[in-house]
Amino acid sequence: MFAGTELNPGDHLVVEFTPPYSSPPIRVQGKICNRTGYNYGVEFVTESNSQKQDVATLCQHLSSLVATCAENL
């Protein structure tokens, strides 16, 4: 992900994403794994089945967005 702030590997954060045409936002906990400039690799942290479902839902939405962007190239 891109974030205009200084984060370091090992830092914990919460990622919030509001899917198009829906609510409420999806919030998932994560940990910074690596960085290049302001681009960060994030490992999602799940401790419950509910959190695992939230991560799966987020990944599904992000995959759909990537596919849509690729179709428009």
Residues composing the chain = 73
Report the domain count for the chain. 1
pLDDT attached to residue 62: 81
> Token pair for residue 46?
């799940």
On whether residue 1 sits in a domain, the answer given is no
Q: For position 17, what pLDDT does the model report?
A: 85
Range of the domain at 24: 12-71
Residues 23 and 13: beta-carbon distance below 8 Å = no
Our measurement of the distance from residue 56's CA atom to the centroid of its chain's CA atoms, rounded to an integer in Å, reads: 10
pTM above 0.75, yes or no: no
Quick check: is 4 in a domain? no
Q: What is the pLDDT of residue 65?
A: 73
* 3 part of a folded domain: no
- Domain assignment present for residue 6? The answer is no
Assigned domain for 2 exists: no
Per-residue confidence in pLDDT tens, the chain, 73 aa? 899 999 999 999 998 888 877 778 888 999 999 999 999 999 988 889 988 988 888 888 888 777 666 565 5
